[in-house]
Amino acid sequence: MEKQFSLKRFFKIRGMGPALTAFGGLIVIYSAFGFINPTVFSSANIMNLLRAMSIYLLVGIGQSYVLITGNIDLSIGSVVGLSAMVSATLMSKKLPVMAADGVTQLKDIDGKPLFDALGMPAIYAVLIAIGCCLVVGLVNGILVGKFKLPPFIATLGTMFVARGAAYMVNKNRNTDAIAGGIGKEAADRFQDLLYYGKTLGIYNTFLIALAIFAIFFFLLSKTRTGRHIYAIGSNVDAAKLSGVNVQATITKTYLVSSFCSCVVGLILVAQATMGNMEAGISYEMYGVAAGVIGGVSPLGGTGLLLGTLAGAAVWQTLQNGLSMIGAQVGIQRIVIGVIVVFAVLLDVVLRTGKRTKKMKPQ
């Protein structure tokens, strides 16, 4: 009896229904493509699918955090590009530091150069890229949370600023190969860690994305900050009256979004072995798609990162399956677009139905 009650409570978790529906749809879609082309079921294709899905999962996590508060982040794609250009530029170029005695190298506390003539070590380049991306998230949070700018306008502005900064980092040029900067051995380690390497037969890219998913899933579902995020999305005025620091909470969601976007930028550098100024174009929409397909409401207050995981898997499975059965790129875009619109429409219909039901006299 106790197990039955717990199971019933599990299914009544807000957002669990759409998440499970997305998982069910994933199974149906994957099985259908596999029936048409059995190669879809091959282990190599599954591993490649998981690695490619990781990018959608990461931007989906960041966008879902923001969407649950009833806001949106249009700067995600530009932050991805900023991350890629900053990290790749630092790794591929010599960056001497001027001192009183002429041109010297920046040194750490042990007196060792932080970077040599071959470029800045990957760890420092990554940390600087993360710092730059978090600044964008902080600005977004202040504009939306403190100054009450519409999130569409605020993040549209930072989208252009971050993309412009990505262009300026290397003087309006893509970077050279990072192997020519930090050296082939260091570049190989960086690429293996973030893209080409495997652990226990699974690409590190997916394992990293899964670890980040687990951390932010816990924070959203088990902490006070997570409860505040849902409260703001459900009713911001009620959240204020309950003592929720709306500005700080909204800022945290934008910081999460920028961090996840930064990781995606680093993955793209590892994949391409260089920085591309156009990296991340339209990724903010990929994040929206992954979230809403998995049941995260763009109206705020509802959704689970479990659904975002399913949504990212559905998105990548559709792209992978349609490509493997020979569908044109235009057809792929149309199918995915229809699914996104249907998911949002379903959310609106369900919410309207619940609201009407509550308004009826008992």
CATH of the domain at 88: 1.10.3470
Tokens 């493509």 correspond to: 33
| Residue whose C-alpha is closest to residue 193's, from 283, 95, 271 | 271
Smallest CA-to-CA distance from 312 within 137, 3, 53, 49 is with: 53
Max intra-chain CA distance, the chain: 83
Domain-located, residue 328: yes
Is residue 2 included in any domain, yes or no?
no
Total domains, the chain:
1
- Residue 348 in any domain: the answer is yes
Sign of the CA dihedral with 56 first, then 60, 61, and 63 last: positive
| Domain membership of residue 305 as a residue range | 17-354
Is 7 contained in some domain? no
57 is a domain residue: yes
pLDDT score of 212: 98
CA gap 296, 294 in Å, rounded: 6
Residue 239 lies in a domain: yes
Distance of CA 43 to the CA centre of its chain: 25
pLDDT digit string, tens, across residues 303-346: 999 999 999 999 999 999 988 888 887 887 888 788 878 877 87
Say what the pTM is: 0.90
Would you say residue 359 lies in a domain?
A: no
The answer to whether position 361 is within a domain reads no
Which residue blocks in the chain are alpha helix, DSSP H?
2-11, 16-36, 43-68, 76-92, 122-141, 151-169, 179-182, 184-191, 204-222, 224-234, 236-241, 246-272, 283-293, 305-324, 329-359
Nearest to 280 by CA among 56, 3, 26: 56
Distances (CA, A) of 323 to 60, 122, 320: 22, 35, 5
Note down pLDDT in tens along the chain; length 362 residues. 445 556 667 666 777 888 888 899 899 999 999 999 999 999 999 999 999 999 999 999 999 999 999 999 999 999 999 999 999 999 997 655 444 444 455 566 666 665 544 678 999 999 999 999 999 999 999 999 999 999 999 999 999 999 999 999 999 999 999 998 898 999 999 999 999 999 999 999 999 999 999 999 999 999 999 999 999 999 999 999 999 999 999 999 999 999 999 999 999 999 999 999 999 999 999 999 999 999 898 889 989 999 999 999 999 999 999 888 888 878 878 887 888 788 778 777 766 665 555 555 55
Which of 261, 251, 270, 252 lies closest to 212, judged by CA?
261
